[in-house]
Amino acid sequence: MSPVLRGFIVANLALCLGCGSSGPRCVSVSGTVTLDGGKVPGPGFIYFTMTESGEAGIVRPGTTEFDANGYYSNVTTFKSSDGLMPGKYRLRVDCYKTPPNMEGKPVVSFIPQKYQDASKSGLNLTVPGDVSRLTYDVALTSK
């Protein structure tokens, strides 16, 4: 078998791995984002960066959008919207009054800058492999 054909087959197999019937099981994650114990000032996004893989040694990040009430569900990965793979995650949160833009307007965030960097946010999540659903509330503080 040629190296090119072998590489093509390996790449396609890697793409087939993931949540759903053909790969490791995912966990449906939902919850609420709060700021200082109350409602967030607007909608935003949560980014889940996998720091330690669980099943099958696959590392796959996820993202979800939360609404103006802070509620989120349907965490998606590049493969599916079935949830997150079991493992450990660091979280990054964006909630902008004026988001990054091409017009050159100043970016204004509703939440402290530390939450916009997963390595500094202090937000960590462990997704166990023995559950099908998980509720994880994200409590942000303005200080």
In the chain, what are the domain boundaries? Answer: 3-140
Cβ neighbours of 98 (radius 10 Å): 12
Q: Is 106 a residue whose pLDDT tops 90?
A: yes
Report which of residues 100 and 21 the model is more confident about: 100
The mean pLDDT of 94-99, rounded to a whole number, is 94
CA–CA separation, 55 and 61 (whole Å): 14
How many contiguous H segments (helices) and E segments (strands) does the chain have?
1, 11
* Per-residue pLDDT tens digits for 74-87: 888 766 667 898 89
pTM, full prediction: 0.80
CATH architecture group of domain 3-140: Sandwich (2.60)
DSSP state of 83: -
Q: Is 137 a residue whose pLDDT tops 80?
A: yes
